[in-house]
Structure 1
Amino acid sequence: MPAQVRRVTARAPGTDAAHLRLHLPGTADAVRDALAQCVSWLMDAGVRDGACGTIELVVAESLNNVVEHAYGGTGRGDIGLDLRLLPGGGVEVRIDDHGQPMPQGALPDRGPPDLAVPRGDLPEGGFGWCLIRTLSSRLVYVRKNGRNRLFVRLDADRLG
């Protein structure tokens, strides 16, 4: 069954306000479909392969966090995704949802997981926020009126 990712708006790549807005269910399948649409749109806009990969990674980690943590893997809830190309080659990403708020109402503050442990004790997760922080030039989380909003700015110099 299709994940029903809905393209709400798409302004033509190459314009001063190239913009993509998607609305999707909070499921892993919908995230995969949304990522495919994002990459296609970015490629149509002439964004380099390496930059597309970096943007896709940040968007994937962010959307998967919503599905797994804000919605607890229930598949209930919706996600709004906005991508806006910036003059000079950067991109702004906005993700919003009605899921559970971030713990303590703020973005996780920890660095990368400790890898100096025996192989059997290596963590399975904990890398996502470290990747997002490393790749982004601006990262803001806001919880308002029962809605989470994540703003990520990726400047051209950080886009592979």
Structure 2
Amino acid sequence: MEQTVTTAKAAEIVAIGYEGLRSYLKRGLLGSSGLMAPFVHRDSPAPDLSRVRAKWKRFGLVDLCLMRLAKQLIDLGLSFEQANGIASRDDVRKVFARDPRAAGTTLMAWPPYYDFILFAGDDLRHLPDRLAEAGDVALLVQLDRIAEHVRSEIDRVCEGEA
């Protein structure tokens, strides 16, 4: 069974203050990423899932990796909305879900809208060409480093519980 942590421990692992993380969650951090849409009768209104994540009380490895990615993108100068737009994407979630170590995966984002591309495996050979096309500014984030950081922080923070 996957190890999960509380919001307070998640804040410590991701290196965001507790109130800051709660604020991000209320603003829609990770949106409905990782949630299966509920089945709704065709004549019934669909539920609003925009704030579902704010009600979560426990977070797993993938959630923590995505939160850390969002924090890192914000620290690199993206707005909350831009960073959350990237971290909330299912294709980014799948990188961490398929391979918890995100081995060799690099995310490249570039202004003005911070479009992004994921490079993994053989795709990494295309990275220099994409960097040249992006022009003067591009952000590169190694997702395996994020996964490594989160794993080590989970071990450190949860060490006393065992």
TM over 0.5: no
TM-score by length of 2: 0.30
Larger helix proportion, structure 1 or 2? 2
Q: Which has the larger radius of gyration?
A: 2
TM-score by length of 1: 0.30
Larger strand proportion, structure 1 or 2? 1
